[in-house]
Amino acid sequence: MIPHSLDLNSSKSLYLQLSEILEQKIINREIKVGEKIPTVRDLCRQFNVSLDTANGSIQELKKKGYVVGRRSQGTIVTSLKPVKTVDLKRKNIVCLLVCSGPIRKTKGNPEFEEIINGVEAGIKAGSLHMLYKTINGDGEELVFDDKEKEIAGLVVAGSISARHLKIIRKTGMPFVLIGDVFQEKPVEGVEVVTTDDGSDNYIAVKYLAGLGHRRILYFSNFFGAYPWFPGALEGYKRALSEAGIKYAENLAVEAGAWGVEAAYKAMRRFLDKKIPFTAIAGTTVHSAYSGVMQALKETGVRVPEDVSIVGPSEELGITRITVDSRKKGEVAVEKLIEQATCPEWKPRRVYIKNSIEAGSSTRRINR
C-alpha cells in the first residue's frame, strides 16, 4: 500500500504531490511496467483526498507519459521515464516548411495554395502563430530567425526529398509531412497526411463505368518506377473488377517519362494501333492530361463525343478528381499538435479522401 505522505501545509497542489508520489513509485519500480496503479477510489481512501484530486494526479501521470488508461483494465504503467511534450503556451509557433524540387509545383499551384490556407486555418484554430520557411535540400541547415525556442513543430509540404527529410530530422522538432517523400517508399515512424495512391483511378474508373463505358484506357507516366504508381494501377484494376470488366493489357499505356511531350508521343503511338476505347482514366497529372489531349486533337478524336476523359484537379470545367487540399493542411496542423502534446502519440498515415466532380469532358454512352 502506498503510504500517506501529503503535506497539507505545502503551497504545492495536493494532486501534484500525489502524482509525484506515484511517479517516484514507478521510477523505483515499486509499481512495475505492465502493472496497474491504484484506482481513483483507492487513492481517495489511502490519501483522504477528493475524487478531483485523485483524478488530477492520474491525469498528470498520463500527461508525462508514465501511464495509459485501458478500458476494463484500469490505468497501466507503460514507461519508467517521462515523455517530453511541448508547452504550446511557451512554444506557440508552427513552422510551415515548403520543400522546393523539380517535380511538384508549388508556386502558382491552386492546390498548394489551398494547402497553405488549410495550414493557416488550423494554426488559427489552435491559437498559434505561423512561420513560413522554404528549403531546397542542397546541404543547407534550417534557420529559424532566432525563433527556435518558440517553435512547437513543423508542417512540411512541397516536393519533399530524402535530403529534405534528413535536414528536418536534425532539428529534433516534431513534424508532419503533407505527402510522401518523393521517389521513396513510405517512411516508417513519420506522420504523413496524404491521399490514397489508388483512389484517383479507382474513383475515375468507377464513375466512367457508371456512365456505361467498358473500354476504359489507363494512361500513366509510369507503371512502377516510383512507389506510388503500382497503387494507382491497382486502383484502376480494382474498379474494373468491381464493374465486371476484365483488365486488358493493351488498354494500359505507359509514357515512360514526365512531361507533355512524353505523354503526347505515348498517346500517339497508342492511337496508331487503332485499338477501340471510349474513355480515359489516369491523366490526373496536368502534363499527362495536356499531352493526351494534344494527341487526341491532332488525330480528330473528339472529347466527349468520341472519348470521355477524367483529368486533373486544376482543370476547371472538365470532369476531374478533386482533392480537399485545404483539409490536408488543417489535419496536418491537428496531427502536429497531437504529436507535440500527447504522450501516447504514435505516427500513422492519415488519408484524405478525394472525390469526382462531373464536367464537360465525359458523357453517358449505351453499352
The closest of 259, 265, 249, 328 to 288, measured between CA atoms, is 259
Q: Quote the CA–CA distance of 51 and 41 in Å, as a whole number.
A: 7
Decide if 214 is inside a domain. Answer: yes
190 and 205 assigned to the same domain = no
- pLDDT above 80: residue 323: yes
pLDDT tens sequence across 141-171: 788 888 888 999 999 998 888 889 989 998 8
User: Residue 133 sits in a domain of what CATH number?
Assistant: 3.40.50.2300
280 and 207 assigned to the same domain = yes
Decide if 228 is inside a domain. Answer: yes
22 and 115 assigned to the same domain = no
Better-scored residue on pLDDT, 344 or 106: 344
Q: Quote the CA–CA distance of 179 and 351 in Å, as a whole number.
A: 10
pLDDT for res 116: 93
**Residue written as cell 488508461?**
69
Q: Retrieve residue 131's grid coordinates.
A: 512561420
40 and 106 assigned to the same domain = no
Question: What distances in angstroms separate CA 297 from CA 17, 290, 300, 333, one per listed residue?
Answer: 77, 11, 5, 44
The closest of 203, 209, 285 to 244, measured between CA atoms, is 209
Decide if 82 is inside a domain. Answer: no
Decide if 331 is inside a domain. Answer: yes
Q: Quote the CA–CA distance of 218 and 282 in Å, as a whole number.
A: 6
Burial of 261 (0-12, 13-18, 19+ CB in 10 A): middle
In single-letter form, the type of residue at position 204 comes to A
Cα 71 to chain centroid distance, Å, stands at: 29
171 and 222 assigned to the same domain = no
Contact (CB, 8 A) for 335 and 193: yes
Concatenating the DSSP letter of every residue in 99-152 gives EP-SSS--TT-HHHHHHHHHHHHHHHHTT-EEEEEEE--SS-----TT-GGGEE
329 and 187 assigned to the same domain = yes
Strands of 308-309's sheet in order across: 252-254, 216-220, 279-281, 308-309
211 and 317 assigned to the same domain = yes
CB atoms within 10 A of CB 279: 26
244 and 138 assigned to the same domain = no
Decide if 5 is inside a domain. Answer: no
Q: Quote the CA–CA distance of 107 and 350 in Å, as a whole number.
A: 25
Number of domains observed in the structure of the chain: 3
pLDDT tens sequence across 93-103: 999 999 886 55
Decide if 238 is inside a domain. Answer: yes
209 and 308 assigned to the same domain = yes
DSSP designation for 11: S
Q: Which domain holds residue 315?
A: 199-322
Q: Retrieve residue 139's grid coordinates.
A: 546541404
93 pairs with which residues across the strands? 129, 151
pLDDT for res 1: 47
Q: Retrieve residue 240's grid coordinates.
A: 474494373
Q: Quote the CA–CA distance of 149 and 164 in Å, as a whole number.
A: 21
In single-letter form, the type of residue at position 325 comes to S
147 and 251 assigned to the same domain = no
Decide if 42 is inside a domain. Answer: yes
pTM of the model: 0.67
Q: How many CA atoms lie within 13 A of 118 on its CB side?
A: 25
225 and 291 assigned to the same domain = yes
pLDDT tens sequence across 242-268: 999 999 999 999 999 989 999 999 999
205 and 312 assigned to the same domain = yes
Average pLDDT over residues 35-44: 92
Contact (CB, 8 A) for 120 and 179: no
pLDDT for res 203: 94
Decide if 302 is inside a domain. Answer: yes
Q: Retrieve residue 186's grid coordinates.
A: 513510405
**Residue written as cell 487513492?**
43
